[in-house]
Structure 1
Amino acid sequence: MNITILGPGAVGSLWACYLQKAGHNVCLWTRNSIPSEQSLSLSANENSSHQFKINDKQALIDCDLLVITVKAWQVESALLPLLPLLSKETILLFMHNGMGAIDNLKEHINHHPILQATTTHGALKENNTNVIHTGYGNTSLGPFNPLGKQCQFIQDVLNHSLPSVDWNPEINIALWKKLAINCAINPLTAIHQCKNGQLEQLDIHQYVVSICSEVHEILQKEGIEWSYSELLSSVNQVIKATSANYSSMNRDCFYQRKTEIDFITGYLLKRAKFHGISAPINQSLYNQIKQFEENTL
């Protein structure tokens, strides 16, 4: 397939390398829009080197699959300028943290087949030329619109490149569950500037418990069947499994970059307001991150 990766950060670069290794024609698209070439070294079980064209308009015109791996808050500004070059048959695959980024774009993109994915693979981009596959996981893929339902074959494309990939017709449920876990971990680790594992400490973990309680009430109203104990257990498992890691929001605050808070806790709060639910702890965390952004950006 002809595949373009929009936003070759850590996750985008990881997929670019594996998709090229699997034999696909892969191009990268970056924010500067200047055509060039880029070499990427992938550090994994089998190290490999890859050469990519960057910002090649013809590659975009011929694109079968556009994989969107920019930050949630960048989705609209990154994608809209590219739409005139895309065929209406081009499949759009969104793979970013958080929810709500596609909602404002629906009228512009609904004629495309649209897929959403969430992945637990870990990636670290050390510099412009080296990406490390830091942890093996799995990817869930599913349709956003009716045209997307006809694109289950993309599961095989991705699974052949970087397993394991499952097709989930109810991808929205998987996205909500990931959002719930992110709500419990990301803002706290950003505010306390700590690694994920430090959330196990009793003085901080009490906030994890309270966040999960508020989140669970909203999940119930959204029709997500997930018990409170299952939610808290999943959050604790992620904290333990990623104990040595810094969350993406932690790093964004550390490097004084814009965070994805509007599409994580912010999205949760929008849904809470819709259902008439109060979520004061999540609101407080949201306010603290937004205040930090205002003071530093």
Structure 2
Amino acid sequence: MRIAVWGGGSLGLLWSARLASKFDHLLLVTHSERQADAINRAGIDLTNQAGEQKNLKVRAKQADLVMEDAPFDMILVMVKQYHLPVVFALLQKAVHPGTQVLFFQNGWGHQTLLQELSSSCRTYLVVTTEGALKCGDQQVIHTGKGISRVGAFPGKQAEPSPALQELFVKTGPGLFQYDENVLQRVWEKLTINCVINPMTAWYEIRNGELLNPEYEEEKKAILAEVIHVASLEGIQLSEQHMWKQIQQVCLQTAMNLSSMLQDLNNKRVTEIDFMNGAIVRLGKKHRVETPANWLWVSRIQEKEKFML
């Protein structure tokens, strides 16, 4: 099976390192030629949660050269949401009718792209709880063990395809799980991200500090709007259950910096438009006000202008 991992960020490096020894034909597709050259020259240095480091040989190519290896049988798309429109044009040329394309993006907004691509191949949404930190072009630390839930989109598919089953088996137990209700999982993760990401990024605090009672009112205001908008989109979320999930994530990742705070610290554009921004857009679609989420979009956009 010919596999491409598309994106040289933290998850792309982590999964490339994991899969390289299990599949003969694996290619990491990077944005820059510099990163591809570094990985081809030195491999990927992966540090596990115990602090042990391994060097794994991985073949990489800059995205403009990817058609030399296409088409692929499976593509794991791990770029940021805002890079998808550019990547999408290449993806359309890199697939065949049986290609399985797995999208690992946070947030909401790429579903229309999946619907368009699904006429050419088989498309899936992935919700992952894996944690990783990129420390250089070819260095990554695995910061949190998690599971990646995979489900067909658009439409439903009760069982994983043979190609997906091969991926699940070769990666080992506990890393992947097929979930035909993946859209529900996407909304659950979106809800958590809409609360934790902008607040930690604005206040410049670690996740665990959000457990302080002084933040409770703002957290609940965001949550209530997301729950309401989700219901208008046909997704039923329990406010009580999601509150518990948010508190649990803050506790379990207490020392972590959210991805949005990391983006700002590293002078990168955030994914606010695909988190709280998506809630604002969907609110407008259904003609409901979302002032709390609009406030957080405004705050983070203001901070982006100042920090980028």
Q: Is TM-score (shorter-chain normalized) higher than 0.5?
A: yes
Query: Aligned letter for 1:75?
Result: L
Unaligned runs of 5+ in 2: none
Higher alpha-carbon deviation: 176-185 or 95-104: 95-104
Q: 1:60 pairs with 55, 63, 69, which one?
A: 69
1:81 aligned onto 2:85? no
Structure 2 Cα separation of the partners of residues 86 and 33 of structure 1: 22
Structure 2 Cα separation of the partners of residues 287 and 78 of structure 1: 27
Query: Aligned letter for 1:200?
Result: L
Displacement of 1:86: 3.3
Structure 2 Cα separation of the partners of residues 71 and 171 of structure 1: 19
Q: 2:237 pairs with 217, 226, 232, which one?
A: 226
Higher alpha-carbon deviation: 155-164 or 94-103: 155-164
TM-score, structure 2 as length reference? 0.88
1:158 aligned onto 2:164? no
- Give the equivalent residue in structure 1 for 2:44: 40
State the SS of the aligned residue for 1:61: coil
Displacement of 1:122: 1.0
Structure 2 Cα separation of the partners of residues 159 and 139 of structure 1: 14
Displacement of 1:206: 2.0
In 1, are the aligned partners of 2:123 and 2:154 still within 8 Å (CA)?
yes
Using a 3 Å threshold, how does the CA distance of structure 1 residues 286 and 142 change in structure 2: closer, same or farther? Answer: same
Structure 1 Cα separation of the partners of residues 307 and 59 of structure 2: 35
Displacement of 1:158: 3.2
Structure 1 Cα separation of the partners of residues 241 and 167 of structure 2: 32
Count of residue pairs brought into register by the alignment: 297
State the SS of the aligned residue for 1:194: coil
Using a 3 Å threshold, how does the CA distance of structure 1 residues 96 and 74 change in structure 2: closer, same or farther? Answer: same
In 1, are the aligned partners of 2:107 and 2:274 still within 8 Å (CA)?
yes
1:274 aligned onto 2:297? no
1:209-260 Cα offsets, whole Å, 9 max, x none, are 2211222222222232321110100000001111100101011122221010
Structure 2 Cα separation of the partners of residues 118 and 109 of structure 1: 18
Displacement of 1:146: 5.2
Identity rate of aligned residues, in percent? 28
State the SS of the aligned residue for 1:180: helix
1:100-129 Cα offsets, whole Å, 9 max, x none, are 124246435531111110111111122222
TM-score, structure 1 as length reference? 0.91
1:92 aligned onto 2:101? yes
Unaligned runs of 5+ in 1: none
Using a 3 Å threshold, how does the CA distance of structure 1 residues 76 and 207 change in structure 2: closer, same or farther? Answer: same
Query: Aligned letter for 1:99?
Result: W
1:26 aligned onto 2:26? yes
Q: 2:196 pairs with 177, 185, 192, which one?
A: 185
- Give the equivalent residue in structure 1 for 2:5: 5
Query: Aligned letter for 2:45?
Result: S
Q: 2:184 pairs with 149, 169, 173, which one?
A: 173
User: Could you say what the CA RMSD is over the residues aligned between the two structures, in angstroms?
Assistant: 2.3
Higher alpha-carbon deviation: 82-91 or 115-124: 82-91
1:135 aligned onto 2:144? yes
Displacement of 1:87: 2.8
Q: 1:51 pairs with 47, 54, 57, which one?
A: 57
Higher alpha-carbon deviation: 99-108 or 134-143: 99-108
